[in-house]
Amino acid sequence: MGKKEKVVLAYSGGLDTSIIIPWLRENYDYEVIAMAADVGQGEELESLNEKAIKSGASKLYIEDLKEEFVTGYIFPTLKTGAVYEGKYLLGTSFARPIIAKRLVEIAKQEGAVAIAHGCTGKGNDQVRFELTVKALAPELKIIAPWRIWDIRSREDAIDYAQQRNIPVPVTKKDNYSRDRNLWHLSHEGSELEDPSNEPLYDKILKLSVTPEKAPDKPAYIEISFEQGIPVAIDGEKLNPVDLIMKLNKIGGENGIGIIDIVENRLVGMKSRGVYETPGGTILYAAHRQLELLCLDRDTLHYKDIVSQRFAELVYYGQWFTPLREALSAFVDVTQRTVTGTVRLKLYKGNIIPAGTTSPYSLFDEELCTFGKDDVYSQKDAEGFINLFGLPVKVQAMMKKKNMEEPK
């Protein structure tokens, strides 16, 4: 009897991936190798080893990807200012490519023929995982059980697990679907499936308090950047992971970064979720304030166009594409002067700018003062307006002429 072919499974220990291990063995007769990625979800992953083995996996890789996640995915996206549909800071979106990339590396190392994941056929994550695999290892087979098995709901999945004595951290009474990493925590399902329902925030929130429960006194914070990358909080230099963790704590205590969004999924339907991104929301606000001080008008405005397209690429799972790499290269050039310190006031869910400094500031007090100055000649504005407004004037003259001429 020859050796069994191998499949590498993206494993979290949650409901979906827990039942996929026995399902793969029963339906494909594969040797199942599981991989759990630590992207800052705040869980003790070592305990998953026993669970994965008991579920039928031959081994479990536990991969610490936190620092690479921040420096290689979060910070490049932060520098672009990318926000999907005006609200979503892409927390789940950019975590998938790094996990899938490591899956591919392990599959090559193990000589596996396939990769499996627990994404449903209705969501975006299936696209994000599979585009990464196709970009990095097009020869690998991809197995997505949710698209082919008879299980049709989370309730069915819970029943399947219970029949095989597989413990899962979900009950039918608490049926939120959550995804957590260093950057954010998302919540879907239960009452959120009806957009007319107000989210039960006291039940949902894990990282944050509601603004109503935040302190009555504002908190001040200073964030320092070097070429668009945050490097220090209140003058204290921190490594990338610790910096985000500290901001998550500060932001969460002040009710920062809670959003309720109905978003357009890539697969064509709308979905609703509540997202907690306390530290990320603070970083985006601080970074934008610094850009407003340091970038010229044309660069800033064009970068805003790039930011929207970049957000779509990340959301759609197109991280490993020439266009994403090219846009990142453009953004890197814009960030050469985005260095300085931003002071913010945090108060009951609000982020209020409280001062910005930079050696590359383009703000010139002599030019913009309302007081007397010897630098700017206000009379120069007349010629500028005449030339800038010439097309408008010509258009108006043409309309007037045509209205006056007899028909």
Residue 176 and residue 334: Cα distance in Å, rounded?
A: 40
In a 10 Å sphere around its CB, with 0-12 CB exposed, 13-18 middle and 19+ buried, how is residue 348 labelled?
middle
66 φ, ψ (degrees, to nearest 5): -60, -50
Each residue of 253-287: b (16+ CB within 10 Å) or e? Answer: bbbbbbebbebeebeeeebbbbbbbbbbbbbbbbb
Q: Which of 16, 18, 93, 324 is catalytic?
A: 16
DSSP-derived 3-state class of residue 137: coil
Catalytic residue among 25, 96, 154, 324: 96
CA–CA separation, 243 and 223 (whole Å): 10
Q: Is 125 considered catalytic here?
A: yes
Bin 176: left if φ > 0, else alpha if -120 < ψ < 50, else beta: beta
Token readout for 276 is 């907690």
Q: Where are the alpha helices (DSSP H) in 85-188?
A: 95-110, 125-136, 154-163
Contact 195, 262 (CB under 8 A): yes
Has 96 been annotated as catalytic?
yes
- Of these residues, 18, 55, 93, 177, which one is catalytic? 177
Please state whether beta strands 31-38 and 350-357 pair in parallel, antiparallel, or not at all (unpaired).
unpaired
Neighbours of 235 (CB within 10 A): 8
Counting Cα atoms < 13 Å in the Cβ hemisphere of 65 gives: 25
Please measure the distance between the N-terminal and C-terminal CA atoms of the chain and give it in whole angstroms: 94
Active-site residue, 29 included: no
Is 177 a known active-site residue? yes
Cβ of 197: how many Cβ atoms within 10 Å? 11
With helix as H, strand as E and coil as C, how does 48-100 read? Answer: HHHHHHHHCCCEEEEEECHHHHHHHHHHHHHHHCCCECCCECCCCCCHHHHHH
Of 102, 125, 180, 224, which one is the catalytic site residue? 125
Q: How far apart are CA 190 and CA 194, in angstroms?
A: 8
Query: Catalytic residue numbers?
Result: 16, 96, 125, 177
